[in-house]
């Protein structure tokens, strides 16, 4: 039975039978076909500076399902991850993001795009080659690509992870730690890896400025980032009060519905290209 979620989406895969294995199998089969049929869509969400100017974009995938409409990743990323389909999905998004970068660069808009990388994708032996080959094939600059990874991905095979990050970093690609502060890893990795940016998880932003504990955690994350010379993005900014709290902390990048929802890539590109003042 369909159930309403907080985001207003229908959780159409939720089954009242509780037959989880069956449900997963159905999503997996449908998703495999969807990737082949070209049903994935690239959405882009603005990241803005404290002046409200767009300074970067995050690539967020959507599934344009012929019957169920636009499906958000929360409904299929876990199954994609468990089935290995995430590698094809991530590669599709990477290619689309690189095409967007090439289009933006051709129009003289030097903006970066952050792409989410799943642990399984990152763990592939050919991960580094795939990223570099895709950039090259699509004519996109490595200097405009950020890869968003999560702390969990660093938990095993740390030396391998470090070698991959070093190789990509040398090519000009930057790394961002997504959902920072929600993982279980030690902080030691921050000084051992070529990391450009920390993204403060939206769970810490949600109850600002009222929640003193969340405020303290946000201040602590900002302090860690500043001491290590890392850039900071706060995600999930929905209210003026949250924006104000964060803007008072100085130079941060903000991302959230207050500024823009994720929107179809082409619409975002067209708007940026036609309003030069926004990215001057």
User: Look-up: residue for tokens 């039978």?
Assistant: 17
Among 103, 116, 176, 243, binds ligand C2E (CB under 6 A): 116
User: Which helix H or strand E contains 98, and what residues bound it?
Assistant: helix 85-106
Residue 116 as a binder of Mg ion (CB under 5 A): the answer is yes
Among 76, 208, 262, 268, binds ligand C2E (CB under 6 A): 262
Among 27, 31, 48, 93, binds ligand C2E (CB under 6 A): 93
Task: For residues 169 and 161, give the distance between their C-alpha atoms in angstroms, rounded to a whole number.
Answer: 12
Distance of alpha carbon 141 from its chain centroid, rounded? 18
What Cα–Cα distance (Å) separates residue 57 from each residue in 1, 42, 100, 150, 206?
35, 12, 10, 18, 21
In our burial notation (b when 16+ CB lie closer than 10 A, e otherwise), range 83-102 reads bebbbbbbbebbbbbbbbbb
**Binding track over 136-175 against ligand C2E, x by CB under 6 A:** ------------x---------------------------
DSSP class of 4: B
Residue 145 or 192 with smaller CB distance to ligand C2E: 145
Tell me the number of residues near ligand C2E by CB under 6 A.
25
Q: Which stretch binds ligand C2E (CB under 6 A): 71-79, 128-136, 186-194, 271-279?
A: 71-79
Task: For residues 20 and 13, give the distance between their C-alpha atoms in angstroms, rounded to a whole number.
Answer: 10
Residue 68 or 107 with smaller CB distance to ligand C2E: 68
DSSP class of 115: E
Among 29, 257, 266, 275, binds ligand C2E (CB under 6 A): 257
Residues 8-37 that bind ligand C2E (CB under 6 A): none
Residue 60 as a binder of ligand C2E (CB under 6 A): the answer is yes
- Point out which residues bind ligand C2E (CB under 6 A): 45, 59-61, 72-74, 77, 86, 90, 93, 116, 118, 148, 178-179, 202, 235-238, 255-257, 262
């Amino acid at each position: 039975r369909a159930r309403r979620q907080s985001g207003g989406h229908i959780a159409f895969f939720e089954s009242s039978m509780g037959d989880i294995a069956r449900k997963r199998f159905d999503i997996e089969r449908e998703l495999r076909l969807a990737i082949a049929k070209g049903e994935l869509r690239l959405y882009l969400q603005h990241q803005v500076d404290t002046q409200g100017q767009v300074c970067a974009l995050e690539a967020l995938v959507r599934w344009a399902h012929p019957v169920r409409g636009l499906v958000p990743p929360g409904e299929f990323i876990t199954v994609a991850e468990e089935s290995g389909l995430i590698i094809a999905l991530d590669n599709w998004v990477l290619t689309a993001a690189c095409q967007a970068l090439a289009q933006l660069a051709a129009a003289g808009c030097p903006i970066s795009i952050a792409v989410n990388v799943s642990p399984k994708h990152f763990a592939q032996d050919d991960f580094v080659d795939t990223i570099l080959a895709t950039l090259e094939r699509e004519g996109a600059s490595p200097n405009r690509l950020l890869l968003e990874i999560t702390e969990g991905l660093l938990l095993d095979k740390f030396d391998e992870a470090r070698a991959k990050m070093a190789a990509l970093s040398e090519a000009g690609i930057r790394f961002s730690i997504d959902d920072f502060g929600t993982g279980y890893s030690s902080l030691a990795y921050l000084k051992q890896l070529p990391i450009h940016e920390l993204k403060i998880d939206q769970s810490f932003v949600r109850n600002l400025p009222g929640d003193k504990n969340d405020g303290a955690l946000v201040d602590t994350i900002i302090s860690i980032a500043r001491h290590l010379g890392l850039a900071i993005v706060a995600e999930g900014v929905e209210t003026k009060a949250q924006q104000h709290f964060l803007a008072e902390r100085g130079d941060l990048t903000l991302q959230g519905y207050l500024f823009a929802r994720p929107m179809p890539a082409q619409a975002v590109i067209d708007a940026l290209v036609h309003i030069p003042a926004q990215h001057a």
